[in-house]
Every structure is written in structure tokens, then in C-alpha cells.
A and B are shown apart, each in its own frame.
Chain A
Amino acid sequence: MTDTLTLGNRQFTSRLLTGTGKFASNDLIGPMLAASGSEIITVALRRVDLQAPPRDNILTHIPEHVTLLPNTSGARTAKEAVRIAHIAREAGCGDFIKIEVITDMQYLLPDNHETLKAAETLAKEDFIVLPYVMPDITISRQLYDAGAAAVMPLGSPIGSNRGLEMKSMIQRIIDTSRLPVIVDAGIGRPSQAAEAMEMGADAVLVNTAIATAQDPVQAGKAFSLAVTAGRMAYQAGMAGRSSQARASSPLTGFLQE
């Protein structure tokens, strides 16, 4: 049986989502996608020049088989996020939308309350909604009720490369969520991506660490391998994943004797 990631009505074989920001040149995006096998790439709609003729339209660098995930970066309220989603759809960017409602410019932390409101509206309009949130099991459940397609908790602040600072909260979401869990933001090294996958995350989104590497194409490949390895380890049921201690020789076994 093929191990696929299902988001909305779509299935994907790659569990590595990538981004278009921060590259030294947009010409690197195509080769990075090819090397990483990533099938979903996010793009900030505010950076797309929809006026004709585009000087260097990011969208022209994304091959057709890769699913575009427009994001609402720049939105400060649910209302703005919804408006950006509408424009993305009208511009032919498809039905996927990553909701980013950020009200803290220092650490780029999301506003869960406004994000939930936007998710409720957009899911009703048949968008495939992927919301970027602070790791919180309540919001994760509410997003399921709202009709979101996944939950995207942050590992650590965007661009920080600090890895899974929110590890225990993310584990709790993985353990309880009925939605696919995509760890987004803060993953700076392939080993951290593998760690998230070993924990049972369904996918990870990596942008900064790939885009700002000396060789983004090679970095994309490295992350792809790490995600695959982490997924395999999770499926293999590696020892030590459980949060409950389980001694190899039971200490109270004698009671059964």
C-alpha cells in the first residue's frame, strides 16, 4: 500500500512542503523542487505581481504538477485573510490556501483566534484550508470542526532555525488531532525535520533553511531524505517513541506469576 498524505480531496506522496521566499534567485525554485520531490509549495500572494506584464512572476517558476499553496502572509485579521484567499482563487492559484494571520512582527507569531475565524469562512467556500497556528490542542479540535484540511503548528518562530522548541505541545496535537499535522516554521536542519516525522507528524514545511542554504538544491534533497527517513522510522514503530516509560523487563511482572 502506498503511503500517501491526504489533504482535502488530494493525495500526495511527498511529505515535504516547501516555500518560495528568501531565494537568491527565483531560478533556483524549479531545480529545488525537482531535487526535493516536494509536491506542494507555498507562495505569499502579496509578493506576486498580478499586474501585466510581470517582471519576474514567481508563479512562472513552479511546474504544473506541483500544487500551489498561496498563503495570506501580511494579513492581520480574519477579514484580510479571507480577502487574500478570494484574490488567490480569482488569480487562478487553485483552492488550496494557507492561512497566516500574524500580529507579532518580531517572532511572526500567529493569531489563533482570527485564524480560526478565517478557516471557518474559507472552508465553507470549499477552500482546502491549511492554517498556521500556535501549537494548541483546542485550536486543533476547533479547526477540525471548522472544516480545515490540516493543522500547521509552528515548531519555533519562523526563520529561527531553532527546531522543535514546542515539541511536547506538538506531540500532544499529533496524539489527539483528527486532522493531518504539518509542522511548519523553525525547522532549520534535516535532523529536525526527521525528528518531527519520527514523532508522527504527517508532513513538514521547510522554507528558510532550504532557501538560504549555500546550495538550496542540495538542501532540498537533504530535507527530502530526512523526511522519508523520519516517516519510515515512525511507521517502523521505533522503540522509545512512547511518552510512557515501558521497561524491557517489567518491574511488577512477579505479580502475575
Chain B
Amino acid sequence: MSFSTLASDWQCFDFAAGFHSVHPNEIRDVLDRAGSQIPLDTRDLLTLLSPSAQDFLEPMAQIARNLTCQHFGRTISLYAPMYISDFCCNHCTYCGFNARTRFPRTRLTLEQIDREARAIADTGIRHILILTGEAPDKTPLSYLEDTCRIMTRYFSSIALEIFPMTETDYRVLKQAGADSLTVYQEVYDPAIYKTVHPKGPKSDYTFRLLTPERGAAAGFRAVNIGPLFGLGDPASEAFMAGLHARYLEQAFPHVEISLSLPRMTQAGGAIAPRHLLSDRQFVQTLLAWRLFMPRLGITLSTRESAAFRDRLVPLGVTRYSAGSKTDVGGYAVHPTQNTVQFEVTDTRSVDEVADMIRHSGYQPVFKDWEIF
């Protein structure tokens, strides 16, 4: 059974009624079990994401901190993203890379990729995330393979956040040195998915939904998923992402599964978010996921502000990006500040983020993986 079957079963569920039926006593019961390390089920996840659970954020946070500390220690891993091309043939209504947005597009040459990699590695970062838009004619498999090979000279872990591929193509990139895959479903609600992806290859909901499975089957050691908060109802999207993570964890026990909480900000030439995720809901989602899956990786990008990121260290996050530039060539080739993809709101350097983590009583970990 693929996740597609499970997802379509839940798509018939009345989430609004389900969330509102949650009684505070049920939340207390879930917290008792989570605190005693008794595994939670999907109904418990629904309970923790309900509006009533917002009154229990402090006890949820206490349990989340303990569980995270137990499984990951007092450590936070660091990584940096590298955008290598912003050509894109998709029409995502919420994205600045949208094919209809007019701006000078860039694709780095292999020599430029090498310069960018060197600049990032000089900051101490050893885990890299490679990003592109979807334009297979501009960034064909051979180009991505060459990119991965260059990265292996500088980094001990190479993650991909590129367009969905076949399992065969993923195997090629794994052979070239990539070890992890990030792919966001963006929105689990199929009706909204269709509206915001009107044209282009990304309009195929199911092909994207099954991408993490193809990556896991291809042998990536880690897979990172998540919804883009702002498109659908936050609580039901968080629930579906949690369900997806648990499905992957059980179907591929050798793969490390992690979730991210990207939330929309205003990107140039794009629609405004329909369902803003408040800071309270953000924290609630993070905590609910942690209690539901104690060993889950949770990733936090520099989309979030420095002040907010500082507060999230003990709440269950396991990985922070740092010193991020989100424009193509932003580290060494064309160093600027602005981008149409999304604004970096935590603009601190890698050293500054590492210091903040130390001051919070945690160890910043630059390297926790290597393909030998």
C-alpha cells in the first residue's frame, strides 16, 4: 500500500468536526501517555492539533523538551541551503520562481558551484542542501550529478530539494554522492493543490505525494517532508504531514524521517497566504509532531525570525539552517540580500547562530553524518 491509499481514506474525514469534538480530558490523557513514553496513535495526533490543545502548550512543551533531549541529546545540527538554478516551468501561484514571473534567471556553472561550495564550507558547515526550480532542460540529470560530485569535495552530507524524479534517477544521484531528499507536498488537500498548481509537471498531485517513497526506495538515508503552511487549513495539513511521516517511518524503517514547518510569507509576484499560521499554532504543530513521533527530525529554516528561532531551541527542533542565502549564487558569485523565492529573516552568520545555540545550553553540531 502506498501513502496515496491512506491519504485518500483520510481525505473523506471531516477535520473541522473532528478537531472541535476534542475534549480537554482527552488531551490530559494523551499527555499522560506521551509523558510516560507510551506511543501515540493518529487519533492522539488529531487531539494534540485541536484548538482545545492550545491551552496545553506548556505541558506539551515540557514533554517535547524531555523526549527530544532523550533521543537527540542537547544538540542541534546545522546545515545551509545552496540554490543553483531558478529556472522553473511550474505555475505555483504562491511562488516567486513561478514561470510567469519575469526576472533574469540564473543557472550556476560548475565552476560557480565550486566557488559557492567553498564559501559555505569555509563557514564550517558540513551539511548542504541543494535547491533548484523545476526545469529539466536547464538542469538535466547530468548537471545535477556533476553538482553532487563537486559537493562531495566540501561536504559530508548532501541533501537534494529539487523537482520530483523517478526512483531510477534518484539512484543515479545517490551514486553521485547525494544522501538525503527533501520534498514538500506543499498542500495535502487535493482541491487546493489543484488550484495553486494549475499548470506544469507539478500539477500531478499523486506523483508528488509518492516522491518521498521513491526516494526512500532508491536508498536515500534520510527523507524530509512537510506542508507549506499558508495554503490549506493549518491543523489538518499538519495532521496529514504527521500521518505521512509515520507512514514513511513504518514503510522504510532504515530511513530517517524529518518534518519541516515552512510557512508562507509574501513572495514577489505571488498570492498572499490564505491561512496564516500564527506563532502559537506553529509551536503547537511542532510540539504535536514531537509527541507523536519522539525520534522524528524537525528542521527549521531562516524563514523564521532570529528572535523566534532562539525560543524554539528547547522545544523539539533538531536541525537549523544558518547563514542562508536564498538567491542563486548568493554566497560568493553574486552576493546580494534579496530574492523572489523568500526573504531570509534570520540573517545572522553561521558563527552567530552557533553561539546562540551554545548560549541556549545546546551543542551546535556541524557534522553528524558522512558517507564512508
Residues of A within 8 A of B (CB): 21-26, 44-49, 55-56, 74-76, 80, 83-84, 87, 103-106, 159-162, 208, 211-212
Contacts and interface: CB of A to CB of B under 8 A. Distances in A.
Contact of B221 (A48, A55, A76, A84): A76
B249 A106 contact: yes
B247 interface: no
Given A45-B370, A49-B126, 12 more contacts: A22-B75, A24-B73, A24-B363, A25-B358, A26-B363, A45-B372, A46-B367, A47-B365, A105-B253, A105-B254, A161-B70, A211-B74
Interface string B63-96: 0000001111111000000000000000000000
Contacts of A48: 367
Given A23-B363, A105-B257, A74 B37 contact: no
Contacts of A46: 156, 367-370, 372
10 contacts: A24-B75, A24-B362, A25-B363, A46-B369, A46-B370, A47-B365, A84-B372, A104-B254, A159-B70, A160-B37
Given A23-B74, A105-B253, A106-B295, A49 B368 contact: no
B309 to A, nearest CB: 18
A83 B372 CA distance: 7
B73 A21 contact: yes
Contacts of A83: 372
B213 interface: no
B59 interface: no
A249 to B, nearest CB: 42
Q: Among the interface residues B75, B249, B253, B367, which one has the most CB atoms of the partner chain A within 10 A?
A: B367
Contacts of B372: 45-46, 74-75, 80, 83-84, 87
Contacts of B369: 46, 74
B370 A74 contact: yes
B256 interface: yes
Q: Among the interface residues B221, B249, B366, B370, which one has the most CB atoms of the partner chain A within 10 A?
A: B370
Grouping DSSP codes into helix (H, G, I), strand (E, B) and loop, the A interface class, with mixed when no group exceeds half, is: loop
Sorting the interface of chain B by its residue count into under 10, 10 to 19, 20 to 34 or 35 or more gives 20 to 34
A154 to B, nearest CB: 15
Nearest to B121: A51
A105 B368 CA distance: 15
Contacts of B37: 160, 162
Contact of B253 (A87, A106, A160): A106
Contacts of B249: 105-106
B41 to A, nearest CB: 15
B221 A24 contact: no
A103 B254 contact: yes
B9 to A, nearest CB: 23
B365 A23 contact: no
Nearest to A111: B254
Nearest to A25: B363
A24 B366 CA distance: 14
Contacts of B366: 49, 55-56
Contacts of B221: 74, 76
B108 interface: no
A78 B166 CA distance: 28
Contacts of A84: 372
Nearest to A27: B363
Given A47-B368, A74-B369, A24 B74 contact: yes
A147 B366 CA distance: 36
A130 B126 CA distance: 29
B255 interface: yes
Contacts of A24: 73-75, 361-363
A160 B365 CA distance: 22
A78 to B, nearest CB: 13
A106 B71 CA distance: 10
B200 interface: no
Nearest to B73: A22
Nearest to A87: B372
A87 B74 CA distance: 27
A137 B113 CA distance: 53
B251 to A, nearest CB: 12
B74 A105 contact: no
A255 B248 CA distance: 65
A46 B367 CA distance: 7
Contacts of A25: 358, 363
A22 B362 CA distance: 9
A87 to B, nearest CB: 6
B124 interface: yes
B258 to A, nearest CB: 10
Contacts of B365: 47
Contacts of A49: 126, 156, 366-367
B370 A208 contact: no
A45 B369 CA distance: 9
Contacts of B126: 49
A223 to B, nearest CB: 16
Nearest to B72: A22
Contacts of B363: 23-26
A123 B345 CA distance: 53
Interface string B267-290: 000000000000000000000000
Nearest to B360: A24
Contacts of B253: 103-106
Q: Among the interface residues A22, A45, A83, which one has the most CB atoms of the partner chain B within 10 A?
A: A22
Nearest to B74: A24
A103 B365 CA distance: 23
Contacts of A87: 372
Interface in B213-268: 221, 249, 253-257
